[in-house]
Amino acid sequence: MADVSGIFAARVWLMTSPNSIPNSAPSAADSLLRIDDTRTAFAHRSTPDLHRAKWMFGLIGSPQLVRLGAGAVRLALRLGIPMRWALQPVFDYFCGGEDIQGSLGTAQDLSAYGVQTILDYSAEGQTGDGALDAARDQIMSTIVTAEGDDRFAFSVFKVSALSDNDLLEKVGAGAHLQPEEAQAWQRVEQRVSELCAAAAEKQVPVMIDAEETWLQGAIDTLAESMMQRHNHGACRVFTTAQLYRHDRLAYIHRLEELARSEGWIAGVKLVRGAYMEKERDQAAAQGRPSPIQPDKAATDRDFDAALDFALDHLDHLHIVCGSHNEKSTLKLAEGMRTRGLQPDDHRIAFAQLLGMSDNLSFNLTASGFRAAKYVPYGPLKEAIPYLIRRAEENTSVGGQTSRELELIRQEIKRRKAAQ
Ligand SMILES: Cc1cc2nc3c(=O)[nH]c(=O)nc-3n(C[C@H](O)[C@H](O)[C@H](O)COP(=O)(O)OP(=O)(O)OC[C@H]3O[C@@H](n4cnc5c(N)ncnc54)[C@H](O)[C@@H]3O)c2cc1C
C-alpha cells in the first residue's frame, strides 16, 4: 500500500489562508485538505470567466431577483420570446453544452486537473413512450461515451426521465395497475434494466438519482434489484439516499445488511436532498407527517452518521458523497485518513455540480481524492428548469451563493495582487 501518511503529512503544515472565511474554520481535517486554496480551485477558469461568474453569482444571490427572473423566463418561454442571450452565460457556467459532443471540452478541461465528469442529460418531465425511449437512448450514449475513457467517472439517470410520474407514483404506492399501465411499467423496467446492464458491461458505474418521496418507493425497488443483479465483485449501480429524510439512515443500514447477507455491494450516493419545500408542502396539504427531518441540524447529523457508517462497512457499502458541504467533505476525508485508507480508495468518491464548489472538487483531486462533477447537458431550452432550480436552490439553501461569490472574489483579488 502506498504511503498515505505522506500525502496527508505534506499538507499538515498548510494552514487555512489569512483571508479564509468563517465556514471553513480550522479543524483537524483542514490540515490535510486545503479547501480554501482558490488558486487550485479556479486554475481552470480564466480571469474574464471569473469576472463573469462574479457578476452572475451576484445576481442570483438575491432571492427577489431570482424569483422575478425565474418568473420572467417562464413567461417568456410560454410567449415564445427568445431568451438565449440572457440565459447563455448561466448555461455556459453550469452546463457542459447542448449535446455530448459539445460537452467534451468541459470534460477535457476538468480532467486536466484530475476532476472527472458525470454526463447528466438534463431534459426533464418528458412523457410518452417516444420521448422516454429517446431519453433512454441519450443516457445510453453517455455510458457508451464514458466507456474506457478516464475523463469520466460515472454515468447517471433519473428514473422519472424514463417513466411517466403518475405511473411511478402508482407503482410506489402499490396501487392496482390497469393492463396497459402494467405494460407501460414493464417498459420502464426494461429501460432501467438496459441502462444498468450496459453500465455493468462497459464498467461505467451508474448512479440512479433520488427524487420526491412519492416517486422514490418505485425507484428504490428498481435500484435495489439492479444492485442485486450487477454489484457482485464490483459496484456498478448506485442508488441515492437523501438524508433530509428521517428514515434514510435506517434504510442505508438495512441495505448494507441485505447486501452483506446476499454477498453483493450496495452502492449509495449520499445527498441531503433537493425537494425539501415541495415535500413539506405536499405532506401538509395531505395532512400527513412530513418525511423531512425537523431541522438542518438533524439532516447534517444523519448525513455525517451515514459517512461514518459507510467508512466502517466498506466491504459491502461503497459511497459517493454528493455534497457541497465543506464540513461533511472534510469529515469524510479525515475519516478516511484516520482509518488508514488511501485518498483514492476505489470505494469512496466525492461529487459536486459543475459550476459549484470548485474549491472542494479541485482541492480534493489536488490532494489525491476521487472527485467528479455532474456536467448537465442538453438543448438550452430544455435545461432551463435545471438552471432555474440551480438559481433557486442557491438562494434557498442560504449561503451557498455567497460562499461561491466570496471564493471568486478572493481569487480575483489574489490574481490582481500576483500581477
Ligand atoms: C453530485 C450531486 C448529486 C446530487 N444528486 C441528488 C439526487 O439524486 N437527489 C436529490 O434529491 N438531490 C441531489 N443533490 C442535491 C442535494 O440533495 C442538495 O440539495 C444539495 O447538494 C445541497 O446540500 P449539500 O449537502 O450540498 O449542502 P448544505 O448546503 O449543507 O445543505 C443544504 C441541504 O440541507 C437540507 N436542509 C436545509 N435546511 C433544512 C431544514 N430546515 N431541515 C432539514 N433539512 C434541511 C436540504 O437538503 C438542503 O438542500 C445532489 C447534489 C450533488 C452535489
Q: Tell me, what's the pLDDT at 171?
A: 96
Residue 274 near ligand 1, beta carbon < 6 Å: yes
Residue 352 near ligand 1, beta carbon < 6 Å: yes
H/E stretch holding 59: helix 47-60
pLDDT exceeds cutoff 70 at 16: no
Average pLDDT value for residue range 65-90: 75
Residue 100 near ligand 1, beta carbon < 6 Å: no
CA 243 to centroid of ligand 1, rounded, Å: 8
Task: State the amino acid at position 409 in one-letter form.
Answer: R
CA 212 to centroid of ligand 1, rounded, Å: 13
Alpha-carbon dihedral angle through residues 226, 227, 232, 236, given to the nearest 10 degrees:
90
CA 280 to centroid of ligand 1, rounded, Å: 15
Looking at per-residue pLDDT, the higher value among 46 and 30 belongs to 46
Q: Tell me, what's the pLDDT at 12?
A: 25
Residue 272 near ligand 1, beta carbon < 6 Å: yes
Mutate to test the pocket of ligand 1, among 396, 397, 400 (most ligand atoms within 8 A of CB): 397
Contact 196, 267 (CB under 8 A): no
The Cα–Cα gap between 267 and 284 comes to: 32
Strand 206-208, strand 237-242: pairing: parallel
pLDDT exceeds cutoff 90 at 403: no
Lowest mean pLDDT among 115-129, 154-168, 347-361: 115-129
The Cα–Cα gap between 164 and 262 comes to: 32
The closest alpha carbon to 26, from 10, 39, 15, belongs to: 15
Residue 273 near ligand 1, beta carbon < 6 Å: yes
Cell numbers for 121: 442529460
Model confidence over 315-341: pLDDT tens digits? 999 999 999 999 999 999 999 999 999
pLDDT exceeds cutoff 80 at 73: no
Mutate to test the pocket of ligand 1, among 117, 271, 303, 327 (most ligand atoms within 8 A of CB): 271
Atom of ligand 1 nearest to the CA of 156: 8
Atom of ligand 1 nearest to the CA of 209: 8
- 194-233 exposure pattern, b = at least 16 Cβ within 10 A, e = fewer: bbbbbbbebebbbbbbbbbbbbbebbbebbbebbbebbee
pLDDT exceeds cutoff 50 at 25: no
Model confidence over 290-305: pLDDT tens digits? 999 999 999 999 999 9
The closest alpha carbon to 412, from 153, 1, 45, belongs to: 45
Give pTM, 2 decimals.
Answer: 0.90
Residue 276 near ligand 1, beta carbon < 6 Å: yes
Q: Whose CA is nearest to atom 19 of ligand 1?
A: 274
Q: Tell me, what's the pLDDT at 269?
A: 98
CA 154 to centroid of ligand 1, rounded, Å: 19
CA 275 to centroid of ligand 1, rounded, Å: 8
Cα atoms in the 13 Å half-sphere on the side-chain side of 234: 10
Looking at per-residue pLDDT, the higher value among 398 and 187 belongs to 187
Task: Identify the bridge partners of residue 120 per DSSP, sorted by sequence position.
Answer: 376
pLDDT band (50, 70, 90) for residue 14: very low
Cell numbers for 47: 480571469
Mutate to test the pocket of ligand 1, among 118, 272, 278, 352 (most ligand atoms within 8 A of CB): 272
Contact 307, 335 (CB under 8 A): yes
Atom of ligand 1 nearest to the CA of 294: 42
CA 352 to centroid of ligand 1, rounded, Å: 11
Cell numbers for 337: 485518513
Atom of ligand 1 nearest to the CA of 240: 8
> Percentage of the chain with pLDDT > 70?
89
pLDDT exceeds cutoff 60 at 126: yes
The closest alpha carbon to 266, from 308, 335, 315, belongs to: 315
pLDDT exceeds cutoff 50 at 8: no
pLDDT band (50, 70, 90) for residue 107: very high
3-class DSSP state of 120 = strand
pLDDT exceeds cutoff 70 at 282: yes
Model confidence over 364-384: pLDDT tens digits? 999 999 999 999 999 888 887
Cα atoms in the 13 Å half-sphere on the side-chain side of 400: 21
Q: Tell me, what's the pLDDT at 21?
A: 34
